[in-house]
Structure 1
Amino acid sequence: MRTPRSLLSLPLLLALTAVPACSGGVHGTPGSAGLRDPYFAKLGNGGYDVTHYALDLAYDPGTHRLTGRADITAEAGQDLSAFDLDLEGLTVDGVTVDGKRAVGSRAGHELTVRPRDELAAGTTFRTVVRYSGEPVTITDPDGSREGWLRTADGALGLGEPTGSMAWFPGNNHPSDKATYDITVTVPKGVQAVSNGELRSERMAADGRHTTYSWHVPQPMASYLATVAVGKFETKKSRTPSGLPVYTAVDPREARASAKVLGRLPEVIDWETETFGAYPFSSTGVIVDREGDAEYALETQNRPVFPGAPDLTTLVHELAHQWYGDSVTPKSWRDMWLNEGFATYAEWLWEEDHEGDTAQDAFDALDARPAGDGVWAYPPAVPPTAAQISDAPVYQRGAMVLHKVREAIGDSKFFALLKSWPADHKYGNADTGDFTAYVERKNPGKAKALAEIWDVWLYGDGKPDRA
């Protein structure tokens, strides 16, 4: 049963009486509960920056029970008397800060931690949270499901935009990126696949469990973390340029996936030529059964697909490794910087592989009537959280990029496709950062670019053809 979020676990109740008031010379204040994201105001937390997550998980598909230990290294951004972590459901069994037992309390998805000793600004500190229970599935404002999804033979952890807090506590906002170590113990007969590099696969002494240890050496936003538990056919290979590839495919999807996945190295090398050096240490995919999830997701290093992917979707999700995973939005308002670029990658792939040109794709959208959904709102300002993944963000976002291409010419545009992710590698950016960057790179096109921003990026309704 799901633990009511308003209840404290027994160890936390004991901690409330066992931990004395904070001591020392620091006189801090609590970090904010929420970063006031335009669409998810209570997501993320203020007062600190996470640098590393070490997650030690055990999951049994038969009982649907998850046991976890999250060791979180962070730096205090202010003098802190308390700070929050995002955790939906699950029971917290204990919290320590720098090895000392801390007070933890729950309110909704907020886990408020009060350390024994207040934390000075600039201090690096380690928080360990032990937790357990039945992880939950979260329904987004648009009705899609994420969090911890039960599958036919295991589970799938998906995080965009809020779901990661269903399986580990953290600063659950794209603006706070960190490196990860993710260790998962599962019963014999199923596997655990995650982001980054597989460091080890160890059978337990009892012969009934296997532990998989994954390492993510480059910064990753929490929504891009994943764990897939189930039966998979795994394969290791390399692209022609030498990049390691790791694929994990549900056996029922293996035959249908083979042709498209056979082109993965080709896609990665084409995208490297088009977008610049691949930003991570490996690539690959996770293909679960059709119906196990409702959408593909650009989980870092290893996008997830619910069923065999088509080539266009593969191109899209792999393009996100540059646009979204390496350069990550500062807030969920900036989703078009992810999806507009990934959609334009589809257009460019077709253009370079004897399909329709990007101009053809643009013209087909531009021919749609004024009442079509693609004109429902400007891509830079979706009206609500339920609309951040709608057509204007993807398709009209790509149209913005095509208008930029028209304005500055192919030579500078294709240089921009490489310099933007290179100059913002592993960082965060918002729409204002992008528009200022394009203008700085093209000072002679200020008037034309300003019109694009006004009409295509921020303008309401269908732009006039004139």
Structure 2
Amino acid sequence: MGAASRTRRTLVTGAVGIAVLVAPAVAVGVPGGGPRFVAGASGAGDPYFPYSGNGGYDVQSYDLDLTYTPPAAAPAPLTGQLDGVATIRLEATQDLARFNLDLRGLDASRVTIDGKTAKEIAPPADGTEVDGRKFWQVQEDADREWELVIQPRPKIKAGRTVTVVVHYGGPTTRPTDIEGVLYGWVTTRDGAMVVNEPDGAMTWYPVSDHPTDKAAYRFEITVPEGKVAVANGLPAREPRTEDGWTTWWWDAPDQQASYLSTASVGDYDLRRTETASGLPIIDAVDDALTPGNLAVTNASLALQPEMIEFLEMFGPYPFNSFGSIVDDDTVGYALETQTRPVYSRVARESTVMHELAHQWFGNAVSPFRWADIWLNEGWATYATWIWAEDQGDGTAQEAFDEVMAIPADDPFWTTVVADPGPFGLFLGPIYDRGAATLFALRQKIGAAAFLEGAQQWVVRYSDGTASTADFQTLMEEVSGQDLEQFFDVWVRTGEKPTTW
């Protein structure tokens, strides 16, 4: 993410609900000693966001068929209409009596599993079971955010792969966290700017909304004729217009965390180019950018091929395409959505480098828990330091010295970057102290070992997630040094490092 002032929430509230249904992770006994079917966990186990993501299964792919009507030309409040069919292939990792998906602010109208349709059966007021007849239900609970609870018939045995189809929809607005930060499906004057970190994907499709459950994505997005819909990956086919509507298809086959998905819609100028090695670059630039912002954006985007080549010191670019979405909206930050980062109003050179670096650090390798986010933001910020040095605009040493010039009693140093808490994910120290940690690590173990460690980080954990402990272990392997004290003073304490 490209803005260091962001903070996050531990709780959001939904706009609409069907019923309250508590879904504890309990075992369901089977007569005769058969499998004990369980309710899949309603969270991925992340202490910062305990009800983001879900347990009991591994999503293989999302196929999202979306129809979106942007707001009519009128002043705020901006309200659109989103209708979707999500086809989700998942493999059960437990014997499941029921399981959850995350869904906020939209109504599910129909759910099928392997083609079998179920009726909605309202639970009693106390939320107890009714002879096992409930098949699916949306629940709202102040402690649990939003859950789509699905009770399959027959139950699903571990190892079985099923196809879950959810029909859903509702009005879209401009969802925020409890501190008022826009995220998720943000309705704009001409479409939608879609930025999900950490768990805003559930505002526009049913999902296991945590980085530990990556999946492949396909998108079919139908919008009014004249609008452009841009998602992750590459176009799967040419857009088709019929009866005043245009459908856009995008295919993102690489493993992708849900917070990195996007399906932005607007009055975009769609531009195509490629790198010298043939990597496609697709940019979508809002035609409403001011002349000044457009000039800055054009200059920055022109550097993307050179930036990619520069960052390949850490290994080959990890995905099938790159590009940018620049939307003239007031969201106020950029996000490293996979293959196609999203920018608010202007794409500046340092921000483009930051979001591009995330494709290796944050996207190919994502945080195991949100406490590990410094490994995203520290690496992306460090990349801007070394890029600026390469371009003759200061040195990484000068950037490091600027951080170290912050007085020891400044609140900057009180943030524990490897455990900042849910409200500290996007504070300045996560970015700047994170980058300074990497610079100091390079000094300690040497440039060759540091580069080898960075490359091996991407090779070893690509398509998955990794933690601060994993990073320390790897750097100890490549350097042959005990780095416990180094990581203690740099990322596990709320004080300014003095010796390491």
1:226 aligns with 2:235: no
Q: CA-to-partner distance for each residue in 1:95-146, whole Å, 9 max, x for gaps? A: 0111112421111210100011100001111100000111353323554110
Structure 1 residue 256 displacement after superposition: 3.8
Partner of 2:318: 279
* Cα displacement string for residues 13-60 of structure 1 (whole angstroms, at most 9, x for unaligned residues): xxxxxxxxx999654111011123121111111100101000000000
Matched, 1:194 2:194: no
1:47 maps to which of 29, 36, 56: 56
2:148 corresponding residue in structure 1: 111
After superposition, the Cα gap between the structure-2 partners of 1:256 and 1:407, relative to the gap in structure 1 and judged at 3 Å, is closer
**Contact 1:74–1:126 at 8 Å: present in 2 too?**
yes
Find 1:100's aligned residue among 113, 116, 119: 116
Q: Evaluate the alpha carbon distance shift between residue 402 and residue 241 of structure 1 in structure 2; reply closer, same or farther with a 3 A threshold.
A: same
Structure 2 CA distance, aligned partners of 1:174 and 1:135? Answer: 24
Specify the alignment match of 1:16 in structure 2. Answer: none
Superposed counterparts of 1:12-411, under 5 Å: 27-62=36-71, 64-102=80-118, 103-108=135-140, 109-206=146-243, 208-253=244-289, 254-272=294-312, 274-291=313-330, 293-382=331-420, 384-411=421-448
Residue type of the alignment partner of 1:268? I
Q: What corresponds to 1:14 in structure 2?
A: none
SS at match of 2:394: coil
Contact 2:19 2:139 in 1 (8 A): no
Alignment-mate amino acid for residue 129 of structure 1: V
TM-score, normalising length: structure 1 = 0.92
Q: Which amino acid aligns with 2:479?
A: N
CA shift for structure 1 position 360: 1.2
Unpaired stretches in structure 2, ≥5 consecutive residues: 1-12, 21-29, 72-78, 119-134, 141-145
Q: Which amino acid aligns with 1:60?
A: T
Measured at CA, do residues 114 and 290 of structure 1 come closer, stay the same or move farther in structure 2, by a change above 3 Å?
closer
| Distance in 1 of aligned mates of 2:179 and 2:382 | 24
Question: Residue 452 of structure 1 aligns with which residue?
Answer: 486
What CA deviation, in whole Å up to 9, does each residue of 1:395-420 have, x standing for no partner? 11111111210111111112222221
Over aligned residues, Cα RMSD in angstroms? 2.1
CA 345–142 in structure 1, closer or farther in 2 if over 3 Å, else same: farther
Deviation at 1:372, TM superposition (A): 2.8
**1:52-105 CA distance string (max 9 Å, x none):** 000000000036111100000001010000000000011111001111124211
3-state DSSP class of the match of 2:474? helix
How high is the TM-score relative to the length of structure 2?
Answer: 0.86
Deviation, 1:363, is 0.9
Separation in structure 2 between the aligned mates of residue 356 and residue 23 of structure 1, nearest angstrom: 71
Q: CA deviation at 1:355?
A: 2.4
1:405 partner SS:
helix
One-letter identity of the residue aligned with 1:401: L
Report the Cα distance in structure 2 between the residues aligned to 1:256 and 1:454, rounded to whole angstroms: 41
One-letter amino acid of the structure 1 residue matched with residue 486 of structure 2: I
Q: How far 1:432 sits from its partner (Å)?
A: 0.8
> Separation in 1 of the partners of 2:224 and 2:351?
32
| SS at 1:283 equivalent | coil
Deviations 1:279-299 (A, max 9, x none): 0000000000141x2210000
| Mapped partners of 2:166, 2:304: distance in 1 | 38
Distance 1:178 1:375 in 2: 37
Would the alpha carbon gap of residues 404 and 156 (structure 1) be closer, same or farther in structure 2, given more than 3 Å must change? same
CA, structure 1 residues 202+460, in 2 after alignment: closer, same or farther (shift >3 Å)? closer
Paired residue for 1:7, among 12, 15, 18? 18
Task: In structure 1, list runs of 5 or more residues that go unmatched.
Answer: 10-21
Equivalent pair of 1:23/1:118 in contact (CA under 8 Å): no
Whether contact under 8 Å (2:450, 2:475) holds in the other structure is no
Q: How many residues align?
A: 447
Check 1:142–1:375 CA distance in 2 against 1; reply closer, same or farther (3 A cut): farther
Identical-residue share of aligned pairs (%): 42
Hey, what's the Cα distance between the residues in 2 that align with 1:290 and 1:202? 25
2:242 alignment partner, SS class: coil
Relative to its length, the structure with more helix (as a share) is 1
Once the two structures are overlaid, the 10-residue window that deviates more, 45-54 or 358-367, is 358-367
- Once the two structures are TM-superposed, the CA of residue 158 in structure 1 deviates from its matched residue by 1.5
Cα distance change, pair 465–413 in 1 and its aligned pair in 2 (3 A): closer
Say which is worse superposed, 246-255 or 424-433, in terms of deviation.
246-255
Judge conservation of contact 2:85–2:165 (CA < 8 Å) in 1.
yes
